[in-house]
Amino acid sequence: MTRRVLIKCDRKVHFIKEHEIIFVEAAGNYVHVSIGTDSLLTRSSLNRLASLLSGERFVRIHRSAIVNLDQICHVEPQSGGEYLLTLHGGKQLKASRRHVGELLRSMRGRMHQQELLLA
């Protein structure tokens, strides 16, 4: 069964399939939910939205961002312990030093469930 998340935006309620969400970013008292080339702006907290999303698919990478693990194309270590994530489609997000451990654990967990190819 496909999980769905209800997002209120522009006086409408959008039924979004969880796997369609690319990333989520906080914007003050609002949250941007990135879906393909679209973005929905909803009045909510990042913590509230995080509680609705599957912990197997989504991980917090920054105090103001959550990413869909399936959307990560590659990661690059940066100075200061941060990582730069490049998503399918080219969007780049920073994973803060505080959240890198959780990101890497989640990625390893997903890799054990999927094919692993090492060059």
d(C-alpha 53, C-alpha 117), whole Å: 28
Backbone dihedral angles phi then psi of residue 63, each to the nearest 5 degrees = -60, -20
**Which residues have a Cβ under 8 Å from the Cβ of 75 and sit 6 or more positions away?**
83, 84, 85, 86, 95, 103, 107
**Rounded average pLDDT over 11-29:** 95
Q: Record the tokens describing residue 41, joined without a space.
A: 């702006």
**pLDDT tens digits, one per residue of 28-58:** 999 999 998 899 999 999 999 999 998 889 9
**Rounded average pLDDT over 91-114:** 85
**pLDDT tens digits, one per residue of 50-101:** 999 988 899 999 999 999 999 999 999 999 999 999 999 899 999 999 999 9
Lowest mean pLDDT among 41-45, 101-105, 115-119: 115-119
With 70 as the cut, is the pLDDT of residue 19 above it? yes
Whole-model pTM over 0.75: yes
Place of tokens 């030093």: 97
The pLDDT-based confidence of 119 (bands split at 50, 70, 90) is: very low
pLDDT value at position 108? 83
Q: What is the DSSP letter of 63?
A: T
pLDDT value at position 109? 79
